[in-house]
Structure 1
Amino acid sequence: MQQLDTEYMLQEWGVWLRVQSGVPHYVSPSLALMRDNVQIARGADPCITDELALLIDSKVCRLFARYEEAGIALWNYYRHQGMSYRRLGLLMTKVLGKPITHVRAQELVMVGAAWVDSAVCHYEEVA
């Protein structure tokens, strides 16, 4: 596996989430024809393979299972491009029902990114 910066991988994973890339479970033939033959304005294409995006996705899911606050913070921060830590804190306050400051939101994103980095490094060593 090529060594990539975790921050870059998380950003591209966020793009991958936004454009709903990946292998769908089922696509109707009509939808495939419309999707492939109609020019649709959408955001940038992710610069990440589906395999790597699914790996990052699985690591974020495991983070959520172990440390829910960090998982929520990381997912929302990279899913919504350009989200400020202040806005993330307000969103998390609504979701969790307890006050989360922008400083705490930033800490949770950094902790989550470090956890994903560690998990991906461990995966690379095992693979």
Structure 2
Amino acid sequence: MTETDIKDKLAAWGAWSRSDSSGLGYISPCLLMMRGNVAETRRAPRAHYISDDDAMLVGAAITALRADYEVLAEMVIRKYYRCWTAKEIAQHYLTDIEYPRLAHLDWEHRDKKRSDHRHVGLMLKEA
């Protein structure tokens, strides 16, 4: 598998995990008629091309990764399940792990250490 294939599989797993479990991959026209065309407050789900078995395998792989490398597994979850950007991961998660005694400081504080978002990309590749 290439890196792009792995990223696509992880993105599909994240979407599958966040889905409303309808399994349809689209909003049913009958469902829209039954709801009486009530405005949706969230985006319509997109079709995701991952089988349940493949999604379960990805989930098991992330669980195995968590057993040995908790930080890497958490970064994968935040990137692909929670849809955080690399900058958000570095700012709100990785920085506090690297510098735990400074975690209570506000991000704008002059003594706050910062992790570069490029480190997140390197760590995701490692994961």
TM class by smaller structure: 0.5 to 0.7
How much has 1:20 moved relative to structure 2? Answer: 4.6
Q: How many angstroms apart in 2 are the aligned matches of 1:84 and 1:7?
A: 14
What do you get for the CA RMSD once the two structures are aligned?
2.9
Note if 1:12 corresponds to 2:27.
Answer: no
Residue deviations 1:53-94 (CA, integer Å, cap 9, x gap): 00000001110111111101111100133x321111123147
Contact 1:22/1:50, CA 8 A, preserved across alignment: no
Larger Cα-atom Rg: 2
Give the structure with the larger helix fraction: 1
Where does residue 91 of structure 2 map in the other structure? 90
Task: Give 1:87's aligned amino acid.
Answer: E
The alpha-carbon distance between structure 1 residues 101 and 53, as it changes in their structure 2 partners (threshold 3 A), is same
Aligned twin of 2:65: 63
Q: For the Cα contact (< 8 Å) 2:95–2:115, is it kept in 1? A: no
After superposition, where does 1:40-55 map in structure 2 within 5 Å? Answer: 42-55=44-57
C-alpha distance in 2 between matches for 1:109 and 1:101: 13
Q: Which runs of 5+ in 1 are unaligned?
A: 24-33, 113-127
Gaps of 5+ in 2: 24-30, 100-113
Structure 1 letter corresponding to 2:62:
V
Q: Quote the offset at 1:15 in angstroms.
A: 0.6
In structure 2, the CA distance between the partners of 1:85 and 1:56, relative to structure 1 (3 Å rule), is same
Q: Letter of the aligned partner of 1:9 in structure 2?
A: K
Correspondences of 1:26-45 after superposition (within 5 Å):
38=35, 42-45=44-47
Which amino acid is the alignment partner of residue 64 of structure 2?
A: R
Identity %: 18
Residue identity in the other structure for 2:92: L
TM-score, normalisation: structure 1: 0.61
**Retained in 1: the 8 A contact 2:86–2:121?**
yes
Higher relative contact order at CA 8 Å, sep ≥6: structure 1 or structure 2?
1
Distance 2:64 2:126 in 1: 14
